[in-house]
Amino acid sequence: MIELGHLAAFLALAASLAQGVLGLMGVRALAGRAALVALGVMTLSFLTLVVAFARSDFSLALVANNSHTLKPMLYKVAGAWGNHEGSMALWCLVTLGFGGAGALWMRTGRDVFEARTLGVQGWLATGALSYLLFASSPYLRLDPAPLQGAGLNPILQDPALAFHPPMLYLGYVGFSFVFALAAAGLMEARIDRVWAREARRWALAAFIPLTLGIALGSYWAYYELGWGGWWFWDPVENASLMPWLIGAALLHSVAVTEKRGNFAAWTALLAVLAFLFSVMGAFLVRSGVLTSVHAFAVDPKRGMVLLTGLVVYGTFALGLFALRAPKLEGGKPWQMLSREGALAVNNVVLVVAALTVLLGTLFPLMAEAAGRTISVGEPYFRLTFVPMLAALLAILPVVQVWSWGKADLSMLWKWAAGGVALVAVFMALGVGLWDIPLGAAFGLALGVWLLFGSVWELRRRAVTWGRVFKMPLRVWGMTLAHIGLGVFVIGAVVETTQRYEATLALPAGGSGTVAGWNITLEDVRAIEGPNWYADKADITARRGSAKAEMAPTKRYYPAARMPTTETAIHKTGTGDLYVALGDRRDVDGETRWVFRVYFNPLIDLVYLGVLLMGLGAFFSLLPRGRIKTAV
Amino acid sequence: MWTFGVAAALLLAAAALAFFALRQNANLFYTPEVLAEKGLPTPGKDVKVGGWVEPGSLTYPGDGSEMVFTIIDNSPDTITVSFTGIAPDLFREGQGVVAIGSFDASGKFTARQVLAKHDENYQPRELRPLGAGPDQNAS
């Protein structure tokens, strides 16, 4: 079977090569057909891999190294992409998927442009497939086949993590198609409104899964690592945040190009950068050059290949950009205080924010090259990234009412006064009533300000409340995304500043109090699962009349000789009561179990906010062809 | 043109901010040997320490929620670390460990996070120059 898959991958490589050559020659129909053939055979090839994992075919080296017969079926299947080679096969499949989707659904009426887009995508696919087949082949056999596999890293055996890599890859690799569109547009020096309408759709198609993928990864870290938090400014997290920020900047910039024809060069540059940052993310994660709590499937030699790819893609696209950007045509005239001006500031801040994340992520590497061991943690990001974003969000409700070309400033003072009043009220409440730090009060005010501003802007566009639901989906998309941002800010501020945590060391029958909750350890029992055994604590948590049975567990996976923490989470409506079981300790001859107990207030708002942003982007993608465009 | 002005101003401000933040918050890494060489960092400043957990040094002085252990390296010096919380899954005496936290004026290190190996094959990156630890033959 797997030989068939191996052969199919070679066919996909040949078809991609044909797509690359035919596309750059400008033959739209044939390039499109080649893209579909490549996608078809690669799907087949990937399926043979998945089947090999599902059937625990240990004659395949990849399966033997990463799977186990006792694993539940979901993790057998997900194991196909839970390792380096398999995830590269997924990367190839998604690259070809976007090529095929582009062949079917591009609608610009420009044959040569579309052919070239497919051509560039074909070359990107050729690169990815060559890397897969010649540097990290998942199709290799083992002889003799072992009787049992080595198992998948246990912390990856989790439902959220089964779907996290495919989502993230849809995002990362989705930007490859935006990159191809930009390259093809630059080749003919035509980054105009038609181009922007097309590019915007594909940028959204990449941005949505990227957003959801990051949320899934963060949620996994929240309940699986047992550290209570949802974002650790870890290099691997930063690697996904950077393309997200560039993607967010791109979505705002491409809207200007679509509506007004402005920012053409800048939009093309962002379209290129979004993919380059994605590849760089893959390089950082896979090469092992950075220490990470999420790192897996690390291999320095392969890192070099990815780095080479990054340099080749970057040189090609940025060189093309340097040659053609001066020839791009401008759009309609605009003044500094206008929607264009506001969105320019939005873009500069988002890109600079991405660059500060880049600096914080790479600085330890640079220091190491200089012979010093240094790490950069949360305080750096809190000092740089957070104030920049806060400033951006603070002006959003004020400037989003500005019109294209020239803003009507008659409302400016009312908005500014309203904003300042809101912040003042929250500061006073925060200090006087809620007893929270000033920064937290400011953050809360910012979130509420965003919610209010987004809803108000929707109403302003609809003129009356009654017509709000007749607004185009695209306006709703923007509104939802900005509401999501506000919800996220409120959740993030409250969770980060008001989180309560404590450590308890309890004997069976003992109890302690955390955040008003009385935590009683009833007993600790030994239990067994399909491929693990575990210590399971039975805990009763009481607060007033509220009562919850919780069962934090520590699992041990013999195949991988590795324990994992299964936290217990009780949703209270105002936040999560979160208990992680630690090690057993003998204190004065008595056996005690250590627990880390957190109360994470409003943590759900963090994820709800991100989901709303994804949903908003989805709404923006829906109304195809409803926007009038001059061709 | 003005966009370039705004962009340049923002970039400069961000660069200054980032430089300041890095100076303040880049955590230096101390092994016992480095600590003896350079002396105590400012009490309360966030730093990282690392080395091997000295076999036999782990104690629970209070009700069991606090753990105290000693970090050693190839030098005669040591660092005493106090940590209140759950030890990482693969925390063992004799194995490599990295702790993030701060020193007090007396030289005792209070950790807010302790990192050990992720799995049987992984050593924290900072510890690679130290070579194999004392228990490498034990397991």
Cα of first residue to Cα of last residue in chain B, in angstroms, is 66
Q: pLDDT at position A534, please?
A: 93
Q: How confident is the model at residue A529 (pLDDT cuts 50, 70, 90)?
A: confident
Residue numbers of B between 10 and 69 with CB closer than 8 Å to A: 10-11, 14, 17-18, 20-22, 24-29, 46, 48, 60, 62-67
Q: How confident is the model at residue A480 (pLDDT cuts 50, 70, 90)?
A: very high
List, for residues A11-48, the tens digit of each pLDDT value: 999 999 999 999 999 999 999 999 999 999 999 999 99
Q: pLDDT at position A5, please?
A: 95
Question: Do A582 and B86 count as a contact with CB atoms less than 8 A apart?
Answer: yes
Q: Given 3-state DSSP classes, what are the helix, strand and coil percentages for chain B, each rounded to the nearest 5?
A: 25, 30, 45
Q: How confident is the model at residue A542 (pLDDT cuts 50, 70, 90)?
A: very high
Q: For residue A485, is pLDDT > 90?
A: yes
By CA distance, what is A556's nearest residue in B? B89
Q: pLDDT at position B133, please?
A: 60
Section A255-265 average pLDDT? 93
List, for residues A303-347, the tens digit of each pLDDT value: 778 888 899 999 999 999 999 998 898 888 888 889 999 999 999
Q: How confident is the model at residue B78 (pLDDT cuts 50, 70, 90)?
A: very high
Mean pLDDT over each residue of chain A, to the nearest integer: 90
Q: pLDDT at position A560, please?
A: 73
Is B135 labelled as part of a ligand binding site? no
Neighbours of A412 (CB within 10 A): 15
Q: For residue B136, is pLDDT > 70?
A: no
Which residue out of B3, B20, B66 would a mutagenesis test of the A interface target, given it has the greatest number of A Cβ atoms within 10 Å?
Answer: B3
The domain spans of chain B are 27-121
The interaxial angle of helices A84-105 and A193-224, nearest 10 deg, is 150
Q: For residue B135, is pLDDT > 70?
A: no
CB contacts, 8 Å: B118 with chain A: 293, 295
Section A433-440 average pLDDT? 86
Task: Write the single-letter amino acid at B107.
Answer: G
Residue with structure tokens 């966030």? Answer: B46
pTM: 0.92
List, for residues B101-122, the tens digit of each pLDDT value: 999 998 899 998 888 765 444 5
Question: Do A375 and B29 count as a contact with CB atoms less than 8 A apart?
Answer: yes
Question: Of B91, B120, B125, which has the smallest distance from its Cβ to A291's Cβ?
Answer: B125
Q: How confident is the model at residue B17 (pLDDT cuts 50, 70, 90)?
A: confident
The domain spans of chain A are 1-157, 184-407, 502-605
Q: pLDDT at position A40, please?
A: 98
Section B51-69 average pLDDT? 91
Q: pLDDT at position A8, please?
A: 97
The burial class, CB within 10 Å (0-12 / 13-18 / 19+), for A404 is middle
Q: For residue A198, is pLDDT > 70?
A: yes
Q: How confident is the model at residue B138 (pLDDT cuts 50, 70, 90)?
A: very low
Q: How far is B69 from chain A (nearest CA, A)?
A: 14
List, for residues A545-556, the tens digit of each pLDDT value: 999 999 999 988
| Integer Cα distance of A199 and A180 in angstroms | 10
The percent of residues above 90 in pLDDT, for chain A, comes to 62
List, for residues A123-151, the tens digit of each pLDDT value: 999 999 999 999 889 999 988 888 888 77
| Integer Cα distance of A330 and A254 in angstroms | 14
Of A98 and A384, the structure prediction assigns the larger pLDDT to A98
Section A601-619 average pLDDT? 96
The interface predicted TM-score (ipTM) is 0.81
Q: pLDDT at position B120, please?
A: 47
DSSP code per residue over A504-572: EEE-TT-EEEETTEEEEEEEEEEEE-SS-EEEEEEEEEEETTEEEEE--EEEEETTTTEEEEE-EEEE-
Q: How far is B133 from chain A (nearest CA, A)?
A: 19
Question: Of A380, A564, A580, which has the smallest distance from its Cβ to B86's Cβ?
Answer: A580
Q: In the CATH scheme, what is the code of domain B27-121?
A: 2.40.50.140
Q: pLDDT at position A625, please?
A: 41
| Integer Cα distance of A337 and A390 in angstroms | 20
DSSP code per residue over B52-93: EEPTT--B--SSSSEEEEEEE-SSS-EEEEEEESPPPTT--T
* Triad A407, A409, A411: Cα angle to 5°: 125
Q: pLDDT at position A508, please?
A: 93
Q: pLDDT at position A191, please?
A: 95
List, for residues A156-184, the tens digit of each pLDDT value: 788 887 888 899 999 999 999 999 999 99
Judging by DSSP bridges, how do beta strands B78-84 and B109-115 pair with one another?
Answer: parallel
User: CB of B6 within 8 A of CB of A348?
Assistant: yes
Question: Do B26 and A380 count as a contact with CB atoms less than 8 A apart?
Answer: yes
Question: Of B2, B17, B64, which has the smallest distance from its Cβ to A383's Cβ?
Answer: B17
Q: For residue B46, is pLDDT > 60?
A: yes
Give me the CATH topology for the region A502-605. Answer: Tick-borne Encephalitis virus Glycoprotein; domain 1 (2.60.98)
Residue numbers of B between 73 and 102 with CB closer than 8 Å to A: 84-87, 89-91, 100
